[in-house]
Structure 1
Amino acid sequence: MTNPPGGEHAAPHALITDEPVETPEQAAARQAAASKEAADTVMQAFGGVRGLIDTTAPGLVFIATFTVTHKVSFAAWAALGLCVLLVVVRLLRRETLKHAFSGVFGVAIGAFFAMRTGKAQNFYLPGLLYSVGYCLALAVSALSRWPLIGVMLGPITGEMFTWRTQNPGRLKAYTKATWAWVLIMGLKPVILFPLYFTGDVNLLGWLKVALAYPPLLLAMYVTWRILLTAPPPIKAEVPAEDE
């Protein structure tokens, strides 16, 4: 029996695999890409900076106008006028009207309540009721394993609803993010409803403006952090069209 080349004590050859070893630079680049994708997904779902402005600016105009004039109808029409202006600007730029129209409807309902009752604080009542309903819907969706954050982000990521049946880690992440939204966004009605009942319109209005961005940005940040550690989305298969 002959010994292999190199003798009995020759070192075994290293195992050779076809899988490339990821370098630290490649890992950092992959993490950066995942971070950007998660951030872009969250921002796109809420209309980006323009969407945030469209849904917040009318409330600022209302309380600023009311503080100066002390006239409910004047403040309500000023807020509605700004909404219409935002819609026109988006039309001229051929941009989506989804967030602008949501602002118009919200302001229109609030303006109707305020002018009909003659009480400026009723401008904020529909929004407060919406906040409560939104939090309840989020909670119910999480309990029913149809977390709303996943429903909103699925079409944007291209996974649609594969996270429910094929990606349990992604379902867990969306459920966790949805509960985070319940807790964070639930702070607004908890803080603002007592002020509504006191009738202090100035404090209610300015505090609502102050709370417009911080809870929303915090909820978006928490969602981004959760998605960073979640499994990547499984893209939904699109059936080929028959030629």
Structure 2
Amino acid sequence: MAPLATDPTVETTSGTAGANTPTEPPVDIKQEMLNGIGGPIGMLYSVLPVVVFALAVPFVSLTVAIGGAVAVAVALAVFRMWRGEKLMAALGGVFGVAAAGGVAAATGSANDFFLIGIWASLVGAVVLFVSLVLRRPLTGVIWNAVHGGANAWREDRPTLLVHDLATLGLTLMFAGRFAVRQWLYVADSTTGLAIADTVTGFPLTALAAVVVVWAFRRSTRRMRPATDDAGARA
């Protein structure tokens, strides 16, 4: 019986694929974060319904102002989906505006349109601060989870330090956002709340994202250089 012929092309292709397959693909942390919030233009879209609400509420009923804000949020979501953005990223703003409008409608106060955001900022500041006190800064916990969850990042002092700084920066951002908005809420300034929502929303979020990306990249270069080099070559 003649021996079975083998296809050298198959062997070569298989061997090459095995040799060049990285153990773990590189993670583009910056892109993942931007995708999660719909990108910079997505953060800008989230401001427009608030502006519409603040401009309308002095001249029309609270119900009409809420309806206008929700309508703008829905229109923006449809436009974003038409542009090819992900469904949940596009609809996130609609859910937020609808929830804020529901609270305001239930209480009958225009200021309560901003209440969820105010208390969400407080909760965020507390959670981040507690993670610092426990010596498990939240940005480091998230970085570790993204990279497999088995990195000894807390034993490496420079890595732990960068995540202390990044988490502290996020804590100050949320705390400052809460302090400003709560003061305006007590002062019964709907216009001031809308302005604060705009000023402390997109700019501070973008600044915080830069700090977090810096911490993630420093950690990756220090803790996982071999994996990164293999992924870059691939």
- Does TM-score exceed 0.5, indicating one fold? yes
Residue 80 of structure 2 is aligned to residue 117 of structure 1: no
TM-score for the superposition, normalised by structure 1:
0.67
Read off the aligned partner of 2:124 and give its amino acid letter.
Y
What are the ranges of 5 or more consecutive residues in structure 1 without an aligned counterpart?
1-36, 237-243
Q: Which moved more, 1:94-103 or 1:158-167?
A: 158-167
Read off the aligned partner of 2:56 and give its amino acid letter.
T
1:89 paired residue among 67, 74, 79: 79
Match of 2:208 in 1: 219
Q: Write out aligned runs for 1:131-170 (5 A).
A: 131-152=121-142, 159-164=147-152, 168=156, 169-170=158-159
Q: Is the 8 A contact 2:139 2:163 kept in 1?
A: yes
Q: CA separation of 1:164/1:176 partners in 2, compared to 1, >3 Å: closer, same or farther?
A: farther
Shift of 1:193: 0.5
Q: Is the 8 A contact 1:139 1:179 kept in 2?
A: yes
Q: Is the 8 A contact 2:38 2:90 kept in 1?
A: no
Q: Whose Rg is larger?
A: 1
Shift of 1:126: 1.0
Higher helix share: 2
Equivalences, count: 198
Match of 1:204 in 2: 193
Q: CA separation of 1:166/1:80 partners in 2, compared to 1, >3 Å: closer, same or farther?
A: same
Q: Is the 8 A contact 2:81 2:90 kept in 1?
A: no
Q: Is the 8 A contact 1:184 1:215 kept in 2?
A: yes
Q: Is the 8 A contact 1:110 1:125 kept in 2?
A: yes
Q: CA separation of 1:40/1:95 partners in 2, compared to 1, >3 Å: closer, same or farther?
A: closer
**Structure 2: distance between partners of 1:46 and 1:210:** 17
Q: Is the 8 A contact 1:148 1:178 kept in 2?
A: yes
Match of 2:54 in 1: 63
TM-score for the superposition, normalised by structure 2:
0.69
Match of 1:78 in 2: 68
**Structure 2: distance between partners of 1:137 and 1:46:** 20
Q: Is the 8 A contact 2:77 2:93 kept in 1?
A: no
**Structure 1: distance between partners of 2:197 and 2:71:** 20
**Structure 2: distance between partners of 1:86 and 1:110:** 17
Q: Deviation string for 1:174-209 (max 9, x for gaps)?
A: 332112100122111111101101212122222322
What are the ranges of 5 or more consecutive residues in structure 2 without an aligned counterpart?
1-27, 229-234
Shift of 1:76: 0.8
Read off the aligned partner of 1:219 and give its amino acid letter.
A
Read off the aligned partner of 1:92 and give its amino acid letter.
W
Read off the aligned partner of 2:172 and give its amino acid letter.
L
Match of 2:177 in 1: 188
SS at match of 2:192: helix
**Structure 1: distance between partners of 2:129 and 2:183:** 23
Shift of 1:215: 1.8
Q: Is the 8 A contact 1:192 1:204 kept in 2?
A: yes
Question: C-alpha root-mean-square deviation of aligned residues, in Å?
Answer: 3.1
Q: CA separation of 1:139/1:189 partners in 2, compared to 1, >3 Å: closer, same or farther?
A: same
Read off the aligned partner of 2:107 and give its amino acid letter.
T
Read off the aligned partner of 2:201 and give its amino acid letter.
A
Shift of 1:43: 3.4
